[in-house]
Structure 1
Amino acid sequence: MRPTMGDLGEVIGYVLKRAQSALRAQIDEALRPLGLTAPQYACLELLQRTPGISSSELARGAFVTRQTMNAVLIGLQDRGLVTRADEAPSGRARPVTLTEPGVRLLAEASGRVATINELMIAGLTDAERLDLLDYLGRCITELEGRTDPPAPA
């Protein structure tokens, strides 16, 4: 049986989007005093966790377009939070690295985001947290493994 518009609370994709929207709003509010947006924070986090990551990989990891990531990087560079090489050592990719001020700001931002993540899952047991990660991981695998949308039911 297909849910009606009134039953959206039973549509997993809709509930996931609501959770993502609520999480993003909390993160935006927590990062605003630091002068960071969620994509900027994601960029800094990815740079720390994956040194040498390309701009294209940064864009994918932050869920933004390459053009948006370029603007994010320019803004972070203008604030002295990252540096970009003037020239690419090979190919077109110019390495991006965190500066010391970027590392310090990221530490503050990461603490705020971790607090929000803990708040989000505070009502779950450790086993439920692991189950949630497993279930979401399986959903991602199914969706990312598809090459074309399924036929309508």
Structure 2
Amino acid sequence: MQDVTEKLGYRLKRAASALRTAMDDALRAHDLTVPQYSTLELLDQQPGLSNAELARGTFVTRQSMNVVLRGLQEHGLVHRPAVSDHGRALPTHLTEEGLRRLALARDAVYAIDDRIAGAVPEERRAALLADLDAMVAELGR
């Protein structure tokens, strides 16, 4: 019987868990969770995303995204209209405070990304990224 810790999926999950823990620790200083930070990043890149679009982009359910957005609204980091101009989707936008908090948190998260990138020799990084993308494609995501 093969040792499960030698399986690729186990190693990927272990790396993802280590990344999540490091991000949780870094974001705590900015009073943000990983889903909140991810939401702010997406909204900075694509203002006006709906709840469903944000949920897909941050790997949480729509119900969980409702909770995330409510928390961000209560802290004045995002703005959502009370009603939609078109259909049911409520477009979400960052506030000035949301942009400020994102900039501070981004520095901490990008420093973590630099640390993990530094663990892979530069000449192997492009191949690693391609391999990770191929794994996602193989699983149909």
Q: How far, CA to CA, are the matches of 1:48 and 1:91 in structure 2? A: 23
2:14 matched residue in structure 1? 18
1:150 matched residue in structure 2? none
Q: How far, CA to CA, are the matches of 2:54 and 2:25 in structure 1? A: 22
Following TM superposition, by how much is the alpha carbon of 1:126 offset from its aligned partner in structure 2, in angstroms? 2.1
Following TM superposition, by how much is the alpha carbon of 1:127 offset from its aligned partner in structure 2, in angstroms? 2.3
The correspondence for 1:51, drawn from 34, 40, 47, is: 47
Q: How far, CA to CA, are the matches of 1:130 and 1:78 in structure 2? A: 40
1:125 matched residue in structure 2? 121
* TM-score normalised to structure 2 length: 0.96
1:33 matched residue in structure 2? 29
Following TM superposition, by how much is the alpha carbon of 1:120 offset from its aligned partner in structure 2, in angstroms? 1.1
The correspondence for 2:57, drawn from 51, 56, 61, is: 61
1:83 matched residue in structure 2? 79
Structure 2 gaps of 5+ residues are none
Following TM superposition, by how much is the alpha carbon of 1:8 offset from its aligned partner in structure 2, in angstroms? 2.4
Following TM superposition, by how much is the alpha carbon of 1:53 offset from its aligned partner in structure 2, in angstroms? 1.5
1:136 matched residue in structure 2? 132
2:5 matched residue in structure 1? 9
Q: How far, CA to CA, are the matches of 2:76 and 2:119 in structure 1? A: 39
Larger Rg: 1
User: Quick one: which amino acid aligns to residue 33 of structure 2?
Assistant: T
User: Quick one: which amino acid aligns to residue 138 of structure 1?
Assistant: A
Alignment RMSD (CA, Å): 1.1
Stretches (4+) displaced over 6 A: none
Structure 1 gaps of 5+ residues are 146-153
* TM-score normalised to structure 1 length: 0.88
Q: How far, CA to CA, are the matches of 2:137 and 2:113 in structure 1? A: 22
Q: How far, CA to CA, are the matches of 1:127 and 1:9 in structure 2? A: 27
1:148 matched residue in structure 2? none
Q: How far, CA to CA, are the matches of 1:101 and 1:27 in structure 2? A: 21
Q: How far, CA to CA, are the matches of 1:137 and 1:39 in structure 2? A: 22
User: Quick one: which amino acid aligns to residue 85 of structure 1?
Assistant: P
Q: Identity across aligned pairs (percent)?
A: 49
The correspondence for 2:93, drawn from 97, 116, 132, is: 97
User: Quick one: which amino acid aligns to residue 34 of structure 1?
Assistant: H
Following TM superposition, by how much is the alpha carbon of 1:50 offset from its aligned partner in structure 2, in angstroms? 1.2
